[in-house]
Amino acid sequence: MTEAAPITLHPADAAGIERFCDQLWLEHGLSKNTLVSYRSDLSLLARWLRRQDILLDDADATAIKGYLAARLEQATRPTQAGFSGRQPVQRFGAGSQARFITVCRRYYGWLLRERVRSDDPSAQLDMPRLGRRLPKTLAMREVESLLAAPDAMQTLGLRDRAMLELLYASGLRVTELIRLRRDEINLEHGVVRLIGKGNKERMVPTGELALDAIREWLRHGRPQIATADSADWVFPSTQGGPMTRQNFWMLIKRYALQAGIRSPLSPHTLRHAFATHLLEHGADLRVVQTLLGHSDLSTTQIYTHVAKARLKALHAQHHPRG
C-alpha cells in the first residue's frame, strides 16, 4: 500500500497564518512556543479544509465543527494517518480542543477586525469543560535531594547545581532560566531581571544558597566551557549557545533518578515547588502571582489548595474550638 501524499497548505492559507502570527507577536509578545502551537493548529485545520475545497478564511461554523468532529473521531484510531497525510494522529483531549478553539477565536476575530470577513464562525464553538489539574510538585526532602544530586566537583555539575538552585529559589520558567543573560542577574543585590510572557518585565529576588551556587559556577566552572558564542549567557551549553528546553528536561530527569525521585517530573516541577512552598510558609497569593509573572491572578489560583490547607492548619492550631 502506497503512502498517502502529504496535504500541502494553500498559499493563501499559509500567508494568512503567517500574517496572523506576526500580528500576535507584535501586539501581544506571545512566546515562540505559543506561536508554534497556534501555527500548527491553524495549519491542521487549513489542510483538512483544503480536502473540502474550502480556504481557511472562508470556512463557516459548520466546516469548523466538521473538523472538530473528524479530529475527535481520528484521535480514537491512532493507527491511521493524521490530517497532514503522514503524521500520526495525536491525542485530542479537552486541553487541545480548548487551545484550538482559542486560536480559532483569535484568528477569525482578527479577520473580522481586518474586515476580511463580516462574521465570526468561531463564535458558535463551545469550549470543552476543563478539569482543574493541580500542578505536580515535590516535597521539601525531594527538592533537597534533587539540588544535591549534581557533582559540584565537575564543571558541568557546578552549572547544573546553580541552574537547579536558581530555578527553585526564584520560580523562573525554564525558557527564562536557559536564556538568562549575564546582565539580567545582579549578584550584589540578589535579584534577577526578566522579560517574561507578553514582553513584561519583572524583578525576582533569589536566595543566598542560589547566589552562592551561581558565584561558584561563574568563578570556577563557566570559564572552562565559555566561548565567544556564549559570552551573553549565564548557563551556556558545551556547544556555546544556550541550553535547549529538551536538554534541560533530560538533565533534570537524570538528576531526579540519581536523587531517588520516582514521581514523574516536568520542566516546570521546581517552579511549582517554589510557588507551593512559598504558600505553605505563609506567602500571599498575590505576591506569588508577581514572582511567577502571571498576568492574571486566576492563573495563580491553581495553588489555592495549598493556601486553604495552611489556613485550616492554622485554624486548628490556634482557634479554641479548632
Contacts of 244 (CB under 8 A, 6+ apart): 178, 237
Contacts of 273 (CB under 8 A, 6+ apart): 137, 138, 143, 168
Residue 226 pLDDT exceeds 70: yes
- Kindly state the average pLDDT of the residues 264-292: 72
What is the average pLDDT score of the chain? 80
State yes or no: is 303 an active-site residue.
yes
Task: Pick the catalytic residue from 47, 161, 173, 222.
Answer: 173
CB 98 within 8 A of CB 130: yes
State yes or no: is 173 an active-site residue.
yes
| Highest averaged pLDDT of the listed ranges 33-47, 223-237, 271-285, 302-316 | 33-47
Q: What is the pLDDT of residues 102-126, one digit of tens each?
A: 899 999 999 999 999 999 998 888 8
State yes or no: is 254 an active-site residue.
no
Residue with cell 462574521: 119
Task: Pick the catalytic residue from 28, 39, 99, 268.
Answer: 268
Question: In the prediction, which pLDDT does 16 show?
Answer: 94
Contacts of 224 (CB under 8 A, 6+ apart): 155
Domain boundaries, the chain: 11-124, 140-316
State yes or no: is 222 an active-site residue.
no
State yes or no: is 281 an active-site residue.
no
Residue 7 pLDDT exceeds 50: yes
CATH number of 11-124: 1.10.150.130
Contacts of 122 (CB under 8 A, 6+ apart): 61, 64, 101, 104, 105, 107, 108, 109
Residue 318 pLDDT exceeds 60: no
Residue 75 pLDDT exceeds 70: no
User: What separation in angstroms does the CA of 306 have from each of 50, 103, 264, 280, 285?
Assistant: 48, 32, 20, 6, 10
Residue 79 pLDDT exceeds 50: no
State yes or no: is 197 an active-site residue.
yes
Question: In the prediction, which pLDDT does 118 show?
Answer: 92
Question: In the prediction, which pLDDT does 18 show?
Answer: 95
CB 54 within 8 A of CB 72: no
**Element spanning 206, H or E:** none
More confident residue, 215 or 169: 215
The CATH number fitting domain 140-316, selected from 3.40.50.150, 2.30.300.10, 1.10.3720.10, 1.10.443.10: 1.10.443.10
Q: Torsions phi, psi of 295, nearest 5?
A: -75, -25
| Cα maximum dimension of the chain | 77
User: What separation in angstroms does the CA of 224 have from each of 155, 220, 233, 289?
Assistant: 7, 8, 14, 37
Task: Pick the catalytic residue from 105, 197, 202, 245.
Answer: 197
